[in-house]
Amino acid sequence: MDNKLTVFRIGQIVNTQGLKGEVRVYPYTDDINRFDDLEYFYLDKGLNNKYEVERVRYKGNMVIMKIKGIDSIELAQKLKTKNMYIGRDQGKELEEDEFFVADLIGLDVFTVDGEKVGVVKDVLQHAINDVYVVNNGEKEYLIPSIEKFVPTIDLEENKMIINPIKGMLD
């Protein structure tokens, strides 16, 4: 498990808001209100650029954030297009059947019959359900994140067991 990412991308600063240093954040989280509890974040994966949150409000599906020390539109503009990250310790508690996307990337994928299919390379997040992108070096397969098709995810064993229907692996 030590090869897994230790940070999670939670949003991207996409624009400024007003003249006093607020920024607009596009959230990469399934629960936009998690920003209410955010005290700080980082602007790079190396966890070097720590920023403290002064206040948060919402406008539609966007987060409007005031960052401590960013008090002008000029300073806010320098943050545009930057991704926001939090450490694993700031991640929310998960239910038994929930997983962080970062923990799924790299899992070995096998059928219920024990045949190796490939490795999880990405997770496409859709409104209805996520889709696992599994690659074996030659082909890519899209596996819906539905218990019927993915009965087992075992992070300890670093594997995912799938029960493909006819045509899913063609």
What whole-number distance in Å separates Cα of residue 25 and Cα of residue 13?
4
pTM exceeds 0.85 for this model:
no
When pLDDT is cut at 50, 70 and 90, the band that residue 123 belongs to is confident
- 51-110 pLDDT, tens digit each: 999 999 999 999 999 999 999 999 999 999 999 988 776 766 666 777 777 788 899 999
Does 117 have pLDDT greater than 80?
yes
Res 126: pLDDT: 73
| Domains, the chain, ordered by start | 7-90 (2.40.30.60), 101-162 (2.30.30.240)
pLDDT reading at 133 higher than 60 = yes
